Structure formats: C-alpha cells, structure tokens
Amino acid sequence: MTDGRQEDGIETDPELRRREVADFRTTGAVDLVERVMKALADEDWRVRKEASQVASQLAPNTELLVALVDTLVSGSNVGLRNAAVESLGSYGIDAVKAIDKVRDQLDSDGRKLAAEALARTGERAAVRILGDMAQDDDQNVVAAALESLSTVGVVSTGEAASILVKALGNEDAFLRLVTLNSINLLGLRIPWDSRLESFLSDPMLDTAAMVAAARGGDLAVGKHLAHAVEFWHRSKRASALSALGDYLAVGEQCADSAKAAFVSVAEECRELLRGLSQDSDAPLEERRAALRALGVLGGGEDAKVAVEALGSVELAEDAEAALHQIGAMAVGTLVANAREGGVEIRSACVRLLGAIADDSNRAEALIAINEAIADREPGMARSWLAAVALVGDEESLEQSVPWLRGDVAAQVRHSAEVAVSACATRYPVAARKMANQASCDGPDAAFAAVVIAALTVSGHGVAPRDVEFLTATVSNERTHCRRAALKALRTMPGAAATRAVAFALTDEAREVQLAAIRTLGQMKGAGGESLGLEYLFDLVSSGTDEALVTSAIHALGTVKALRARELLEGLAREARPARAVAAVEAMALDGKLAGVIIGLSHQEPEVVKATLQVLVAYEDPRVPTHLGACLDHAAWDVRRLAADLLARHGGDDAKRLLRGHLSTEKEALVREALSSALAEIEGRNHPSMPPSNPGEGS
C-alpha cells in the first residue's frame, strides 16, 4: 500500500496527508470533491477526521453532498461511511432531503447509517423520517432510529414523543429499552399506564422505566418507588433513589404521595438508607439520594443522620432539604445540635430552627436560638440572625442591637438589618421603646434607624421626632449609622429630610454617598412627585466621578418621571459604555420595553449584551423578536448570548428563531449555543403524552 502510494505520488506520512487535507479549506481545487472523498476513505483516522471537518465546512456544497450521501447507498469502507455520516450533519435540511430521496435504495447498514446522519442534522424533517424508520423490518435500523430520536428529537419533542410512546409497544425488549432511554434522555414526561407499570417488573427495563415513571409524576408511582427503594438489589437502588429525587421535584402532591407510601417501608430499609448516607465509601450521588429519601421517611432517627450530614460540604444541601422535609419532627434534634458540636453544624441547626419550627415547638426553638447568640463566631451570627428574622422575639431584638454597631463585618450587619426589621414589625411597641433610647450621635443610632424604617413601612406610625433623629444621624461619626439613617429617610418625605440626604452626597465615605443617591431616587412627596430628581439630574449632568454618576443613573430609574425617562433614553445612546448600560438598566426598573431596546443599537457590544440580559426578564411577546434580531449581530459573542437567552426565554418563537439560524451560523461556538438552546427549550417543555391505550392510565 505504502509503495503504491509512493508510485502514485501520494504522501506516505499520515501527518503530512492530514496537513494536505487541512489545506483543502483554502486551495479550492477543481477536483476538490474527489480529493475530499478520497481523504474521507483514508486508512488513517487522523486524515479521515480532518477530511470530515473539511467536508462539514464546505457545506452547502451540493456536489459534495451527493458524494457523501452516495457512500450510504453503496460502499463497504466503514471508515469512509462513518466519516461521511459525521459530515452530513452540517448540511442540515439539504442532507435530510438527499437522504430521504435515496432511502429506498439503502441496505440495512445504509439505513442504520442514514438514521445516525439524520440525528446530526438538527432538522425537524429528520424526526418524521426517523418515525418511518422506527417501523423498519430490520431491528438494528429500528434501534438506530429510536436512538437517533434522543438527539434530534429536541427540535420537535411532540412528534418525537408520539413515535417513542408508540415504540414502547415493540415486542422486542431491547427496543423497548432503547425507547425508554431515548425518552429519559429527552426528559419527556410520558403517561403512567399498565404497560409502563409492567416494565417495572422486567429486570431489563425496570430502572429505565422507573426513571420515566417518576418524571411523569403520577401519584400512583409513589408506592412503586417505595417498593423499589426497599426491595431492589443494591446495584439498582441508586437508580431508584435518583428517580425518587425526580419524583419529589415534580411537586408537593408527589412528595405527599411518596411520604404516604414510605410509611410502610420496613425499618431495615430505613436503616440501610441511613447507613448508605453515612457511608463515606459509597458513591456521592447514592449518598445524596439516600439523604433525600430519608427526608421523605421523616423520623427522628433520620433527622439525626441528616444533621450529621450538615457538616459535609458535599451533602449539606441535601441534608438541609431532608430536614425541611422532615419538618417539625426534626426540631428536637436541631435544638440538641444547636447547643453542641462543630460550628458549621451548630450554625446550620440554628438557621434551620428558624425555618422549620412551627406553633407546636416555636418556644423550644426560640430558647435554643437565643442561647446561640452567646457564640460570637461570624458564621454563627449570620445563622442566628437569619433565624431571628423568621421567629425572633423581643429578647432576640434586644440581642440584635450589638450586631448593628460598627465593629462587625458588613455581611453580618446586613443580616442584622433584616432581622431587626422583621422583629420590629412583629414587636412594634418594644422596638419603638428601644429605638427611643438610642442617641443620634451614639453607636446604636443605626439600630434605631432600622427600627424607624421598619415601623414606618409596616404602618406602625412615625414618631414626631423621627425625621429630626434621622437627619441628625446623617452626621453620626460612624459610616454605617449615616448609611442606615439615609436608608430610613427614604420613607420620610419632606424638605428637611431631602436636604439632609442631598448633602450626604458630599460625604467622605463612598458607601454613604451611594446610599444617599439611592435614597434620592426613592424619596417621594405627598403627591408622589420625586423629591430627589433635581439633585440626581445635577449629578448625572455635571458629575465626574463615574461610580457616583452611574449610581445616579440607576437611581433615576426608580424616579418614574417623564423627565427622568427622557434623560435616560439619551444616556442609553452615550458613547461611554458604563453610562449607557446604567441607563438601560435604569429604564428596565420602569418596566417599559421601548426605552430598553435603545441599548440594542449601541455600537459597543458590551452595551448590547447588557441590554439583552435586561430584556430577557420582560414578560412581553416582542422579546423573542428582539433577541432573535441579535442572532444576526456582527459580534459573535452577542449572537451567542442571544442564543443562550432565547433558551432561557423559551417558547415556540424562540425555537423557530434558533432553528432558523442553526443552518446559517458559521461560528462554531455560536452553533453550539444554538443547539444547546434548542435542547434546553425542548428538555424543559417535557410534553405530556396521552396514554397509548386510553383507559389504562391510572
């Protein structure tokens, strides 16, 4: 062979041949198709791989397409045929039509390869052809068609689901398994019926059937899951536990159904799950699934295991979910563990106590929560404050005061503001009394400011000296007190308050200046008019400090006045990207689409990208059109983001736009995003199908 090549003047070194093939992209020879096809048939895989990529990039070369399809009709070179299949995907709808045309001439191997090629096209028309091929006389062709639907099916899930549900009636167990796997890969929700139920007792199909059944979310599936968790062999139990996780995620009714079903589960099974969740040698996924199952089982012993798992970074999230699921029955265990053990576990227990305790055990939980404040560890403080925000009482409120003083981390102080605000709303009289004791000049002025704001917002009234107190606190020597006072002043309309807030723009501390700007945006007069508008206007038009100017632009978004809107529209066209982005974001606060889309015409791609991210949050039928228009933007990263965001937006319009661009987009990264976006939309839809045999469903 080597000698023959030498005689023909063909390069003997595969690497040199590969490079020659790579050059086909630019050489454009008259016999290009012939040379590409030769390369696709090369004995060396590297050459074939390169040729396959070249053939893909030459799409939509009609001559080459015909040659590629021809390899399916005749030929025995496996390497060539596989390489051709790989390339055909890039020819999109042209490939689908060409394959359909020759389908009758193909032998069984050719039809099998055709199914694989169709899977790669990402075309809706391919799904219909695969549906025909799923009726083929040859089992291998049927299997290939059903398997191919797991990928190309995303572009037409309804059609794919119909084909696959029908295929579940195949006599051959292997074909049923392939079908179930495709259903699971597409994330389809299929109806629960006697046939699917029968699959659960088939050792070949049971795990795939259980995954499909769980996702369907029929209430009858709960007892089967309980049975599977209890009796299935260890090798299959992971699938059962994973299916249980999917089932619980469907909704509350499923969780209740599972809970009822698990009542009958034997103690040995519970013990086994506890052991599994604690077994550090077991695969992580199994341990996590076991923990979630324990949440459903819901006993005191299970709470202990879950609490123990709170100390593990990998398991903490599932442990928390399990404890939430166990609910009030976990409170005793949480109380005990809030008092002893490592700081992570104590901290998590305190936080969970706030979230889980109900009327029957709130008092017990509160004692443990209030005891925990003796612990000065910052992580513990945030958990304590989170619990206080939910269930804290007057005592908690009093104990929160030190956390609003200056010598604590900003994050802790923020948690304290939330906690104090919530407690003050629940205990207004006690909160007012404590606030009245604070001096505007002292370290507890921030506490008082938070209380005053909470009482004002919750309708518990404004004391006569509140405005005076807060405006005086704006001169407090502690930065956080000044900031808290400014935040509170947003609820107190009036000239004196506005003046004090505006003067805080000259504060030496950046965080106070920014708080002043935000407050100016939110201060409203008795008639709803903006009190801070002029100050913000001045700052935006003559300010030189970009951080303050962009913050003021944002604040203008909360003003909701015509003048502000006009200014923002002008700023969205500003050459300085930071200002333009801030203007777009500010207009988004107003909720009107017309202003926001100005950012899409900005010359700077970063502004366009920021606008796209703002746009996707709108519940407006025009959004997909605007996102879709950016699929034609000159900057590839804008196109990619548009594809990602269309996926997030979802819907038929988004699908149509994505599909339309899949065949024309040249940039590989954007193509990838377009495909992923389509897959994501289809996966999320999880279309439900009618039962294949009406009347058999539960």
Partner 1 sequence: MSVFERYPPLQPIEFRLLRDFVYDRCGLHFDNSSMYLFDRRLGERLAALELDSFAEYYKHLRFSSDAAREFDEAIEVLTTSETYFFRQEYQLRSFEKELLPALAEKNASTKNLVLWSAGCSTGEEAYTIAMMVHRSGLFDDWDVRIIGSDITKSRIAAARRGVYRAGGSFRTIEPTVRDKYFAPHPEGFQVAEFLRQYCQFGHLNLMDRANLAIVGPVDVVFCRNVLIYFDENSRRRVIDNLYRRLVSGGILLLGHSESLLNVSTAFELLHLKEDLVYMKPMRTEARQTL
User: Of 22, 20, 19, which is closest to residue 58 (Cα–Cα)?
Assistant: 22
Among 505, 572, 597, 638, binds partner 1 (CB under 8 A): 505
**Quick check: 477 binds partner 1 (CB under 8 A)?**
yes
Q: What is the closest distance, in whole angstroms, from the C-beta atom of residue 474 to partner 1 in the complex?
A: 7
DSSP conformation letters of 614-631? HHTT---TTHHHHHHHGG
**Quick check: 535 binds partner 1 (CB under 8 A)?**
yes
Q: What is the closest distance, in whole angstroms, from the C-beta atom of residue 465 to partner 1 in the complex?
A: 11
Q: 683, exposed or middle or buried, with CB in 10 Å at 0-12, 13-18, 19+? A: middle
Among 62, 198, 439, 625, binds partner 1 (CB under 8 A): 439
Q: What is the closest distance, in whole angstroms, from the C-beta atom of residue 659 to partner 1 in the complex?
A: 49
User: Of 279, 292, 311, which is closest to residue 241 (Cα–Cα)?
Assistant: 292
Query: Can you tell me the distance from the alpha carbon of 215 to that of 349, in angstroms, rounded to the nearest whole number?
Result: 32
346's tokens: 């104590």
User: Of 489, 493, 421, which is closest to residue 455 (Cα–Cα)?
Assistant: 421
**Quick check: 502 binds partner 1 (CB under 8 A)?**
yes
- Name the residue nearer to partner 1 (CB basis): 408 or 504: 504
Task: Please check whether residue 572 is in contact with residue 601, taking contact to mean a CB–CB distance below 8 angstroms.
Answer: no
**Quick check: 543 binds partner 1 (CB under 8 A)?**
yes
Query: Can you tell me the distance from the alpha carbon of 345 to that of 311, in angstroms, rounded to the nearest whole number?
Result: 6
User: Running DSSP on this structure, what letter comes out for residue 357?
Assistant: -
User: Applying CB under 8 A, which part among 228-236, 326-334, 370-378, 473-481 lies near partner 1?
Assistant: 473-481
**Quick check: 181 binds partner 1 (CB under 8 A)?**
no
Among 3, 508, 562, 621, binds partner 1 (CB under 8 A): 508
**Quick check: 500 binds partner 1 (CB under 8 A)?**
yes
β partners of residue 524? 530
Query: Can you tell me the distance from the alpha carbon of 198 to that of 193, in angstroms, rounded to the nearest whole number?
Result: 9
**Ordered alpha helix ranges (H), 310-458:** 316-326, 331-338, 343-356, 362-372, 378-391, 394-400, 410-426, 428-437, 445-457
- Name the residue nearer to partner 1 (CB basis): 83 or 474: 474
User: Applying CB under 8 A, which part among 125-133, 137-145, 356-364, 433-441 lies near partner 1?
Assistant: 433-441
Q: 569, exposed or middle or buried, with CB in 10 Å at 0-12, 13-18, 19+? A: middle
Total number of residues binding partner 1 (CB under 8 A)? Answer: 23
Query: Can you tell me the distance from the alpha carbon of 517 to that of 536, in angstroms, rounded to the nearest whole number?
Result: 7
User: Applying CB under 8 A, which part among 14-22, 176-184, 468-476, 579-587 lies near partner 1?
Assistant: 468-476
Q: What is the closest distance, in whole angstroms, from the C-beta atom of residue 547 to partner 1 in the complex?
A: 11
Q: What is the closest distance, in whole angstroms, from the C-beta atom of residue 438 to partner 1 in the complex?
A: 12
Among 34, 285, 529, 538, binds partner 1 (CB under 8 A): 538
Task: Please check whether residue 450 is in contact with residue 488, taking contact to mean a CB–CB distance below 8 angstroms.
Answer: yes
Q: What is the closest distance, in whole angstroms, from the C-beta atom of residue 412 to partner 1 in the complex?
A: 23
Among 123, 507, 590, 644, binds partner 1 (CB under 8 A): 507
User: Running DSSP on this structure, what letter comes out for residue 342?
Assistant: -
User: Applying CB under 8 A, which part among 405-413, 501-509, 640-648, 661-669 lies near partner 1?
Assistant: 501-509
**Quick check: 693 binds partner 1 (CB under 8 A)?**
no
Q: What is the closest distance, in whole angstroms, from the C-beta atom of residue 503 to partner 1 in the complex?
A: 5
Task: Please check whether residue 501 is in contact with residue 493, taking contact to mean a CB–CB distance below 8 angstroms.
Answer: no
Helix axes 300-309, 267-278, angle to 10 degrees: 10
Among 394, 503, 569, 589, binds partner 1 (CB under 8 A): 503
**Quick check: 441 binds partner 1 (CB under 8 A)?**
yes
Q: Which amino acid is at 8?
A: D
Binding site for partner 1 (CB under 8 A): 439-441, 472, 474-477, 496, 499-500, 502-508, 535, 538, 541-543
